[in-house]
Amino acid sequence: MTRKGSLSGRLFRTMLLIGIINAAITMVATELIYEDIEETSLTIGLADERAYFEERIAGDEVASWSSALLTAFFVPEGEENVELPHMFRGRPVPYAAEVDLEDETYLLSIAPTESVPGVLYLAQDISILENREDWFQEVGFVVFVVGMLAISLIIARLGSTRIIRPLQNLSSQIRKIQPDSSFKRIPAHYADEELNEIARVLNDLLKALDTYVRREKALVSLASHELRTPIAVISGALDVIDQRSPADPTNRKTLDRIRQATDKMQADVDALLKLAHRASGHDKADVVDLEVCARRVVTELENSAPQYVGRVKQAVTRHPATIEADQTLVHMLMRNLVQNALRHTQGLVYIGIEDDRLSISDAGEGLPSHVRARLDGNNDEQSVPADGLGLFIVRLICERLKWRLHVSHSGNKGTNIQIVFHQESTDPSAQAEQE
């Protein structure tokens, strides 16, 4: 599985990279500008100095001028045994360059003169400037780079945070939307038009979803009436037949089966309609005795199928075995789990009622992998499965009651399904490691 990075991290790295590139460009530009300054000093600055000293050459005698940073030396044509200053010795004519001599650096310009035949030597001392350049390259460069990186880091962090914060606010607003009530709209008051557009699109979607849910809720209410009416008619007809007291035992047995099927249908309809309605914080919980509920489930299943008689064993370690929940949903959950176990094994089925959980165990061949993934919540498929409603309804009931359904093991030696009553108090991974 590919690990996904965060948008804020990518923005931070991008802005930091831009800062580093800017620092590098600044360093290169500074070096080029410095070299250009040296070139300008050599070609323009010394050219002006040369013109100045040529005007002061008088006669054909050797002449020299010097200041703190500038040295000028004139040698007339024909003079050969002239002792030149050390920076000019051994240089060709003409000559123009930067020269390093031990701890001194000079800009040299050597060229013939026009007014009086000869050679004019010019040397500008740039040692101080070079020392500053060396210091900058050795120390200042490091300080500059560190400072630029620090500034880039701060700007990148502040910039990415400022860009991401509105997205985080939008995400927080979306997270507050709960499907158990009317969908609240997202305030579209962001400073960025793009985020306002996202909020408007989401609000349009929420409006459509709200309309759809209201329509489905109305359909469920209508179905509730339509389904309950024929069941009530069947129950009433059975009551009338009971009053006639049919003497034939075969008819009595048939009527009993019809009544059991009708009662089961009524319970299923009530549970399914309860699941179809969205939960609310005002739902009233019943005090359910799990031990009594288990006995009723066993009796119901044994009466509906003779092959189930004597195959369900019950063990209770929780005293009292009561819990606050919806009576109808708990009954349906337990019946579906026990009935599924009875159908898929010929051996015994065990109901365990413990302090914080209900367990159903059998000695069958285990659950198919896709069914186990569905029960453990590792399958994102929310549609009704093609292989039956039983375990799918069990998962829906657990989600409604906020219980955790956990398949502790399932294989050739059987299956153990546990319903943990308090989901927030149990860590699935820790529970799996303990088992």
pLDDT of 431 above 70: no
Could you give the dihedral angle defined by the CA atoms of residues 366, 370, 371 and 376, in that order, rounded to the nearest 10 degrees? Answer: 100
pLDDT of 102 above 50: yes
Spatial strand order of the sheet with 95-101 comes to: 63-66, 70-76, 118-125, 104-112, 95-101
258 versus 278: the higher-pLDDT residue is 258
pLDDT of 381 above 60: no
pLDDT digits (tens, 9 = 90+) for 129-167: 777 776 776 676 777 778 888 888 888 888 778 777 877
347 versus 172: the higher-pLDDT residue is 347
What's the pLDDT at 433? 38
Q: Exposed (0-12), middle (13-18) or buried (19+): which is 394, by Cβ within 10 Å?
A: buried
What's the token pair of residue 76? Answer: 């007339």
pLDDT digits (tens, 9 = 90+) for 173-189: 777 777 665 677 777 77
| Residue 188 burial (CB count, 10 A) | 15
What's the token pair of residue 274? Answer: 């309860």
Least confident of 4-8, 140-144, 263-267, 322-326: 4-8
| Most confident listed range (48-62, 107-121, 372-386) | 107-121
User: Mean of the pLDDT values across residues 333-362?
Assistant: 90
Exposure string for 222-257, b = 16+ CB within 10 A, e = fewer = eebeebeeebeebeeebeeeeeeeeeeeeeeeeeee
90 versus 130: the higher-pLDDT residue is 90
Q: φ, ψ for residue 353 (rounded to 5)?
A: -115, 110
Gap between the Cα atoms of 75 and 62, Å rounded: 5
Gap between the Cα atoms of 139 and 30, Å rounded: 15
Least confident of 19-28, 110-119, 308-317, 388-397: 388-397
Exposure string for 100-121, b = 16+ CB within 10 A, e = fewer = eeeeebbbbbbbebeebebbbb
- Residue 227 vs residues 220, 265, 396, 426: alpha-carbon distances, Å: 10, 10, 21, 39
In order, the DSSP letters of 286-324 are EEEEHHHHHHHHHHHHHHH-GGGTT-EEEEE-SSS-EEE
Least confident of 12-26, 220-234, 285-299: 220-234
**Interstrand relation of 70-76 and 404-411 (parallel, antiparallel or unpaired):** unpaired
What's the pLDDT at 153? 83
Gap between the Cα atoms of 293 and 335, Å rounded: 9
Q: Which helix (H) or strand (E) holds 335?
A: helix 327-343
What's the token pair of residue 401? Answer: 């009651």
Q: Which amino acid is at 380?
A: D
In the block, tokens 């948008």 appear at: 7
Q: Return the bridge partners of 66, or none.
A: 71
Gap between the Cα atoms of 172 and 80, Å rounded: 91
| Residue 98 burial (CB count, 10 A) | 16
Spatial strand order of the sheet with 349-353 comes to: 312-316, 349-353, 357-362, 414-420, 404-411
Among 38, 29, 32, 34, smallest CA distance to 105 is for 38
Among 345, 342, 361, 250, smallest CA distance to 301 is for 342
Least confident of 132-141, 233-242, 306-315, 423-432: 423-432
| Most confident listed range (5-9, 42-46, 161-165, 421-425) | 161-165
User: Mean of the pLDDT values across residues 394-406?
Assistant: 86
What's the pLDDT at 420? 92
pLDDT of 349 above 90: yes
Per CATH, the homologous superfamily of domain 284-434 is Histidine kinase-like ATPase, C-terminal domain (3.30.565.10)
Confidence band (pLDDT; 50, 70, 90) for 434? very low
What's the token pair of residue 66? Answer: 């010097």
In contact, 290 and 323? CB cutoff 8 Å:
yes
